[in-house]
Amino acid sequence: MPGGRRIEADMTNIGEQAKPPFVVLPDLSQLFLARAERFRALAPGHELAPYLEFLGVLATAQHEIVADLPAPLLPPAERMAQSLAHGMPPLARAQLEPDALMLATVEQLAIRLAAAPLLDATAASVVALHRMLAERGIEVIAAVLKNATPPQDVASQVLVLAGLQVHFARLAAMLDAKDLKPVATAACPTCGSPPMVSAVVGWPQAYNTRYCTCGLCATMWNVIRVTCVLCGTPEGVSFRSIEGQGDTVKAETCESCRCYVKIVYPVKNAALEPLCDDVASVGLDMLLTEEGWKRGGQNPFLLGY
């Protein structure tokens, strides 16, 4: 499945499927590799080339550590069942306490990055992260999970979130998609994070259907088109793009909440990857910010926008 997604529906009976799956869980064998490949393809000639190249290195490191880590443990089945019964995500990020495996995951990512060729400033951030993890790793991870890190720690927050992406994607991949249900508006049904971006996909069993993507656990969930994915209203929704830059990445703006979330169109270009193309289209964020719109999508690699 393009973009590192796992579809459990039977591909041999496409014409008989009544509706697309509600949730598509990450495929760990492809998720981070697909992102690394897309970042490398986007970098040449881009005004953000150094950053996109670094994110390609980062995504490769994320993929490489997956096989080196012990198997994660899901929360107790009774607790997850209770969460689902009450309309709550089974892996709610705000309720999961940092543990030794979360810390080991972030540490392993930092070790991989330390061995990679990095710009001096980036290498210094990795060294600082090593020191921070050794001194108060659990505390740092807890703060990141609760979005409580101070603004001056953006570099470390990005790197910790990259490690947590690995951890939460591994947990999400262990779930049964059929158990997951819609939770609150603007919340991932797996971990409760806000949507990062939405995508109109070209999958045979969900052609021209829209899915939100979680920036933490990489779950994708089906949402109605032409409604605000943040507040749920269909009123006052419009689409913005930068003239001359094609129509495969747009911003869906909402007059009700005065926020926007980007929408990408893999149905028009299968090479698009929601997280990567969100980063690469930061010029659209800058334009909308100047016009007074607030970014609603949460991308770990676009903190500050």
CATH architecture of structural domain 27-177: Alpha-Beta Complex (3.90)
| DSSP states of 243-293 | TTS-SSEEEEEETTTTEEEEEE-TTT-TT--HHHHHHHTHHHHHHHHHTT-
Position 33 pLDDT exceeds 60: yes
Question: For residue range 51-77, what is the model confidence (pLDDT) as tens digits?
Answer: 999 999 999 999 999 999 999 999 999
Residue 290 pLDDT: 95
Percent of the chain with pLDDT over 70: 92
Interaxial angle between packed helices 154-173 and 100-114, expressed in degrees from 0 to 180 and rounded to the nearest 10: 120
**Kind plus residue range of the DSSP H or E element containing 83:** helix 77-85
**Same fold for the domain at 27-177 and the one at 195-302?**
yes
| Of 289, 281, 257, 275, nearest in space to 199 by CA | 275
CATH number, domain 195-302: 3.90.1670.10
Query: Minimum mean pLDDT among 85-94, 119-128, 141-150, 180-189: which range?
Result: 141-150
Domain locations in the chain as residue ranges: 27-177, 195-302
Position 82 pLDDT exceeds 60: yes
Average pLDDT score over the chain: 91
Across the range 220-241, mean pLDDT stands at 94
Determine the length of the chain.
Answer: 305
Predicted structure pTM score: 0.91
Rounded Cα–Cα distance for residues 55 and 39 (Å): 7
Residue 13 pLDDT: 36
What residues contact 93, with CB distance under 8 A and at least 6 apart? 145, 168, 191, 192, 193, 216
88 or 149, which is more confident? 88
